[in-house]
A and B are shown apart, each in its own frame.
Chain A
């Protein structure tokens, strides 16, 4: 009897194990591709788990599916920009993954050169149409084979200006402005809004602690008529008087003007905790903060020109786009093309912006002519649009290892400067050396990459 029970027990265990295994295999990821279903197509789109993007895409997808019921687009927000980029890399190298994903303009060359993504021309639009209808950065970010390699979504240049806490403005008795006339104007506001407590800064009036802030530093240089990159030698040149002035200013914010302190948290966190009145940050923060901190009021103020000589320049190297992995084909590709055609249309772009997101659209007509950016929800961008028309828009690139340059070289070094760990001169020398090395390494890996020529006069629109 015992033996029978035991044997029975074994059988049960084995069956359980098999069942278990079945559950495991079945309970895992299901491939999105369903061969055999003729018309209905299911597409997976990865985007960053950043509310403005998620909301924008959802709006576009809703509208799109009304007219295209047989194309289902599933949005999968990925937490963390860096994490998403890493997963994209592995999907591309494994040859399977989402049907489309968003990526920054700084990474497009890296995908395109080894042939891991498909050009969006001529399927979605012709090259001529792209050059005519889209803002120049969409072309400049990757000019491989003369094609266009990504579809842009609304996004603004990273160094347009500052976010300001409106309540602090009122508290200090300052009127709201759309842009600062000059550096002194900005510093005056900053000084009026910063608070001291026991001899130490308790609320910063001008925060410069955001990893994307090195873009501001570059533009400070260009504002003075300087250049940080030599088109002929294809090397970074940061040991110039303009660069020194620019970096010195950053240092001065902390140690001369006493408007920010490294004891206060980074710009975004500080703004959320009422520890910062005004800071250098990407302009979409204003809209984003409205979602995350409903009881705080932020507005956008365009930055002044560093030198005061001509309108401030800004650069849009860090665009956001949708790209198509090379492994997408057949019915899925066709469906995706339909979706992206809608996304890049005027209607699609305005749908993305429907909830009041203030990212600039890659479509020229929407950004430069549409009332959305003049009198509508994004009217704070009006001075930016004016400046763009006057040639303030620049493009600092393309560089293959742009992310490494920005986040692993520029920002840590500038961070050291504001922590007083390195002198301005040494920092500039180090930046120059490290940037050139990083660039050289990329060129070794991707010897076919085109030369980087920066137009220092501003882009014509």
Chain B
């Protein structure tokens, strides 16, 4: 940025001034843009500490006049949001683990094995990604009901595992990643008499760690935010997931905005914190998967 010429009188040459101005302008624009993304969340957080009547006051006030954690008390006690949160984490976590395991081992099979009908079966797998949820949701619901899995964790988890962002997506990506692992390593291991499972655990998994991580994060995020399927399957309040709990706030005859901002805060703040800390990793994971596609 600085001019290297020590002899020039002005600190910056014209060209550099122009660049600085460009930078400043860009920053200004970016700040405005960033504000557009931050202000709603800021407003949400501030409102969650306001009293019920202050939330619907006209004109709205920015800072809470009377700071209160009443909304949080109510939402945790009467509306059981802690339970919803735990349900969501449990369910998303289970799907993520199962998905990671299944996609990686399926990816291994598809990338390093040759057998008749392999591509056909692969398409069968991938087709899961192309089928819109709307077309399977109702029969799937009836099936789950018949299997007596309504209102159960398994009822939510199992169908989601084969939904687009579970195994289909994961298998596709893992296959891509694993194709990069040289076949020689595997052949060498085979000659040494290693079993396929051994190869999977000790060669494929460690070497595709990055991709697997990306898949895991993606899957977890996607499943955590799921609304439609839990909406169908869960009718018992205790089993609700967080998105469903939040959506349920709009089912009431009367909309309680204080609960809405508090519920939204509970859903969003953990994400904020995780993102703030793991930004690098997350961003890397997303761009890695994004670019692979």
Given contact pairs A79-B251, A79-B252, A93-B142, A20 touches B94 in the complex (Cβ within 8 A): yes
Smallest distance from the beta carbon of B27 to chain A beta carbons, Å?
41
Q: Which residues of A contact B150 (CB under 8 A)?
A: 29, 90-91, 94, 97
B196 within 8 A of A: no
A356 within 8 A of B: no
Q: Which residues of B contact A95 (CB under 8 A)?
A: 146
B120 within 8 A of A: no
**Binary flags per residue of B248-264, CB closer than 8 Å to A gives 1, else 0:** 10011111000000000
A456 within 8 A of B: no
**Binary flags per residue of A66-91, CB closer than 8 Å to B gives 1, else 0:** 00000000001111100110010011
Q: Are A28 and B254 in contact (CB under 8 A)?
A: no
In the complex the two chains form, what is the Cα distance from A375 to B252 in whole Å? 32
A10, A29, A90 pick with most chain B CB within 10 angstroms: A29
In the complex the two chains form, what is the Cα distance from A74 to B51 in whole Å? 34
Q: Are A28 and B142 in contact (CB under 8 A)?
A: no
A-B contact count (CB 8 A): 74
In the complex the two chains form, what is the Cα distance from A97 to B233 in whole Å? 12
A391 within 8 A of B: no
- Pick the contact of A90: B142, B153, B155, B248 (CB < 8 A): B142
B154 within 8 A of A: yes
Q: Are B254 and A292 in contact (CB under 8 A)?
A: yes
B222 within 8 A of A: no
Interface size range of chain B in the complex: 20 to 34
A446 within 8 A of B: no
Q: Are A28 and B251 in contact (CB under 8 A)?
A: no
Given contact pairs A24-B94, A272-B254, A10 touches B201 in the complex (Cβ within 8 A): yes
B133 within 8 A of A: no
Total number of A residues with any Cβ neighbor in B under 8 Å:
34
Q: Are A94 and B251 in contact (CB under 8 A)?
A: no
In the complex the two chains form, what is the Cα distance from A292 to B254 in whole Å? 8
CB-nearest residue of chain A to B202: A6
A59 within 8 A of B: no
B12 within 8 A of A: no
B141 within 8 A of A: yes
B146, B153, B231, B239 pick with most chain A CB within 10 angstroms: B153
Q: Which residues of B contact A96 (CB under 8 A)?
A: 145, 148
B149 within 8 A of A: yes
In the complex the two chains form, what is the Cα distance from A84 to B252 in whole Å? 12
Q: Which residues of A contact B148 (CB under 8 A)?
A: 31, 96
Question: Which B23-58 residues have C-beta < 8 A from chain A?
Answer: 56
**Binary flags per residue of A100-140, CB closer than 8 Å to B gives 1, else 0:** 00000000000000000000000000000000000000000
The 6 closest A-B pairs by CB, nearest first: A28-B152, A94-B145, A80-B251, A29-B151, A79-B251, A29-B152
